Chains A and B, each alone.
Chain A
Amino acid sequence: MRLVSPRQGPQTNLAGAHRGRRRGRSMEFAEHRDYSPGDDLRHLDWAAFARSERLVIKEFESELERTVLVAVDLSASMSESKRRLALQCAAAFSWIALNGQDRLALAALGSGPRYHPPVRGRGQWGRLMEWLSSAPAGGRAQLTDSLKGLAQRLPRSSLVLVLSDWLEENAGEALTFAHYRKHQVAALQILDLEDSQPPWLGPLRLEDIETAEFRQLSLEAQALQYYQQALEEHSGQLREQCRRLGFHFHSCASLDRPEDVLLRQLVERGWLV
């Protein structure tokens, strides 16, 4: 099982396991084309010339390296259940990426976002997971700014998996910027029950756990209905933006099993083969 790019290949000069858009020097034959003056004569297919008396150049596929970034939101808004599912998915996804000879980078978003530069090889998985689990939880994610910074640091056409609750206003700006950098983004929104169906009633001072912004409301059925509408609207905007940019967006509950999230969603979407 390996990760594939659903749309376009990586844009890098390093040799790797992924097919590039341009012709390269791999062992895999791609096609013939007519000879043009200036072409390297070593690529002439003499057998074809013998058969057809035409000068054709033999071209091969390019096998390039691709960078995969797994960004895990460890901010305060990620409750224990959400964080556990995010780490499980990140571990599985990292294993798949390293196993597929991809270069894997990790990012922990939270108080002081941390970034682990890309590494290659299955042997690095344990060390990466240890690094990820040691990342401090809590603080404010600042998802938009963090993702913008990461998208800039990554080589173009990287594969980015963001594991977060995506509960941040204007989070779609990061997606637009990632698209500008030609990255492929898979956004996994993890919500727990309190996010989707708040169980509270009565007069509450609702305080944002990250920004300390608060609202005083008396929660009734109508207010809860409005909240669910607002949440659906927010997720729907993200989903629609991802669809428009060719990204993948999936919302799941924190109680979902990680294999379901990875296999059903990523395999169905063609990210895993």
Chain B
Amino acid sequence: MKDWGWNAPSQVVWLWVPLVLLLLYLFRPRHRPQSVAAAFLWRRVADKLGGQSLWLRLQSQRLLWLQLLFCTLVILALLRPYQVRPGLVARQVVLIVDLSASMGAADRLPASLAEARQIVRQAPNGCEFALATLDTNLQMLQPFSEDRVSLDAQLAGLQVQAVTGQDKRVAPLVLSLLKNNPQAQIHWFSDHPLPGVNCIAHLADQGRVNYAIDSFQSSPEQLFLALRNYDGQAAQLRVRIRGAEDFLVERVCSLRGRGRHSLQIPLVGSQGPYRAEILTKDDLSLDNQAFCLEAHRVPMRLISHGQVPLFLEQAAQAATGLTLLRGEIATSGIHLWSTLPESRELPPGRHIAAAPPASWVRAKVEDEGPILLPGLLQRDWRFRVSSQRWGARQSLQVGLNGIEPVLVDSTGEALLVQRQQALVWLFPLENSDLPLSPDLPVILSSWLKTHTDPSQAQSVGLLCGTRARLDGPAPLQLKGPRGTIRLEGLEWQPTWPGLYRYEGGQLAVNFYSPEESDLDRPKLAAQPAPPVSEELLTRPMSQEYTLPLIALGLLVLLWEYRCWWGDKR
């Protein structure tokens, strides 16, 4: 773990201010006018000096050095450096424990609590402790107090909640605490770093190797394995994938930094289920194995979500002649990938409606009858998929291997492409964390988050390599390698990964990263979230100081310009 670093490294962009200052002084040196009795003597001096060097020209600019020093200090302040001194014993210790669903995996929470208890034990007398937990809300369970007994009891009572952790609420609290008491020692117990606050050590940083299998999906042609790197440093992982019929593949995956990396393993005549395993050992026993079943070969027709215009659905249905399933979603949408029967042929440009594709989206209710789209028009189509999470997407252009456009929208709201014999809807992927193939930004996984009838979902093969919510009749029993999981009611807790039998079928249960751990059950309206106190909503320091500092920098530049303009006149 680094001993020091920057909390806001992006603020380094302000380096352009001193550079501009330097350039201003270089190209517009401000010479004070001074009358002399004999300029010819100074001419001789200039001849002797023979063109002053750059350093000599800048050497005497005391104002420049002052300004550069000022800018450097401001930028340093904006970067917010931190230093981690584990040996430093603070008078105030804040413990923030992540109780989101991902912490229920393996021994994450027990390890966190053990670490917290050790910190409490090692703290000297007179030290004050505060305990906060994070699930859907940030709660201060115990304000600053020297009572270690109650703190220990509070720690013992912590349990993982099957909810998504709202990490964004932690940063304001931490920054507020640090602002009011810079000597406070804050510990963040989670399996991932706290976004926006790099100065807090977290559990993942303490490990030697911290990687996990993020998702493991299959298609008839290949397997898609997503690995998540919790460390910022690059490393190489050995990954082994086993399947039936002696299917064994070992890959070395180079992880360059924190984030998600995907692998594609082609399948040649093999059958599932498949098991992926990271051979490199890590310290925290994070998710190092994942399972997926064989790719389901039954044609699927679930290609819509609630935000797709009705006319588009009808157009696609008319084009394919297949059954269309519509999911009810409010936030994240349904992301689908469907295959067509091998015997079915769907030549491009056969359908779909009378109006050009753009107007299909704009004028949703006007149906002017089927037309044949000319090939020339298809060649001009451009595809773009945008996503806030994934950043700028690559354009899907006509001519990619195996891609034929069927339906395009210039605004990127929805489009339909044909890949070999599959029709694929492309949606904005704002809420999706599914892996994308580098040459085919098509969703190759099914992710069902719906209130759809489980039996219907199963009948269309939605359990194939997907994360599913089993809302079936309680209780459910899953038998797996680590025992039998009994699901009471509608409760579903992600436990150990493995292959389980479920009502005669197989089910692959895997762990997922916190970003994907939103397997939350339907929200219970009867339990309103406790309000977050105003104290916790204190803005970070950077937001408070950035604006005045920017204004100050602009004033400095304005002053420079004014001086230069005055000299010029």
Contacts and interface: CB of A to CB of B under 8 A. Distances in A.
A and B found bound together: yes
Contact of B35 (A207, A219, A222, A226): A207
Contact of B59 (A215, A217, A220): A220
Interface in A197-232: 198, 200-211, 213-220, 222-223, 226-227, 230-231
Contacts of B48: 226, 230
Contact of B60 (A201, A206, A211): A201
Contact of B31 (A79, A169, A195, A205): A205
Contacts of B40: 168-169, 208, 213
B43 A215 contact: yes
B56 interface: yes
Among A195, A207, A234, which residue has the most Cβ atoms of chain B within 10 A?
A207
Nearest to B32: A204
A11 B43 CA distance: 42
Nearest to A77: B37
Interface residues of B, number: 27
Given A202-B60, A203-B30, A223 B45 contact: yes
Given A201-B60, A217-B45, A220-B56, A206 B30 contact: no
Contacts of A96: none
Nearest to A234: B41
A205 B41 contact: no
Given A202-B32, A203-B60, A217 B37 contact: no
B44 interface: yes
A217 B41 contact: no
What 10 pairs between A and B have smallest CB-CB spacing?
Answer: A208-B39, A167-B38, A77-B37, A205-B31, A213-B39, A230-B44, A226-B45, A209-B35, A202-B60, A203-B31
B524 interface: no
A209 B48 CA distance: 22
Contacts of B60: 201-203, 218-220
A47 B559 CA distance: 99
A206 B40 CA distance: 10
A102 interface: no
Interface of B: 29-46, 48-49, 52, 56-57, 59-62
Interface in A132-181: 165, 167-169
Nearest to B35: A209
A202 B60 CA distance: 5
A209 B36 CA distance: 6
Contacts of B57: 203, 218
* Main SS at interface, chain A: mixed
A123 to B, nearest CB: 37
A223 B49 contact: yes
Nearest to A215: B42
Given A213-B40, A218-B60, A206 B34 contact: yes
A84 B186 CA distance: 77
Nearest to B48: A226
Contact of B37 (A203, A209, A230): A209
A203 B52 CA distance: 11
A251 B42 CA distance: 20
B39 A204 contact: no
Contacts of A231: 41
B59 to A, nearest CB: 7
Contacts, number: 101
Interface string A2-43: 000000000000000000000000000000000000000000
Nearest to B46: A215
A215 B39 contact: yes
Given A195-B37, A203-B31, 16 more contacts: A77-B38, A165-B37, A165-B38, A204-B33, A204-B34, A205-B31, A205-B33, A207-B39, A208-B37, A210-B37, A215-B42, A220-B56, A222-B49, A227-B41, A227-B45, A230-B45
Interface in A56-83: 77, 79
A168 B34 contact: no
Nearest to B30: A203
Contacts of A217: 31, 42, 45-46, 49, 52
Contacts of A234: 38, 41
B59 A218 contact: yes
5 contacts: A203-B32, A206-B36, A215-B43, A220-B56, A222-B49
A73 B538 CA distance: 76
A226 B33 contact: no
A217 B41 CA distance: 12
Contacts of A222: 49
B61 A203 contact: yes
Nearest to A204: B34
Among A201, A204, A215, which residue has the most Cβ atoms of chain B within 10 A?
A215
A208 B38 contact: yes
Nearest to A191: B37
A211 B36 CA distance: 10
A202 B32 CA distance: 8
A165 B41 CA distance: 13
B42 to A, nearest CB: 5
A215 B59 CA distance: 18
Contacts of A168: 38, 40
B37 A206 contact: no
Contacts of B61: 202-203
A154 B15 CA distance: 71
B42 A206 contact: yes
A231 B43 CA distance: 12
A222 to B, nearest CB: 7
A211 B43 CA distance: 13
Among B32, B45, B56, B62, which residue has the most Cβ atoms of chain A within 10 A?
B45
A16 to B, nearest CB: 38
Nearest to A195: B37
Contacts of B31: 203-205, 216-217
A165 B45 CA distance: 19
Nearest to B38: A167
A194 B37 CA distance: 9
Among B35, B59, B61, which residue has the most Cβ atoms of chain A within 10 A?
B35
Contacts of B62: 202
Contacts of A207: 33-36, 39
A231 B44 CA distance: 10
A37 B49 CA distance: 73
A210 B60 CA distance: 28
Given A215-B42, A217-B46, A205 B32 contact: yes
Nearest to B49: A223
Nearest to A217: B46
Contacts of A200: 34
Contacts of B32: 202-205
Contacts of A206: 34, 36, 39, 42
A205 B34 contact: yes
A205 B45 CA distance: 13
Among A165, A218, A222, A227, which residue has the most Cβ atoms of chain B within 10 A?
A218
Contacts of A79: 37
Contacts of A205: 31-34
B506 to A, nearest CB: 81
Nearest to A220: B60
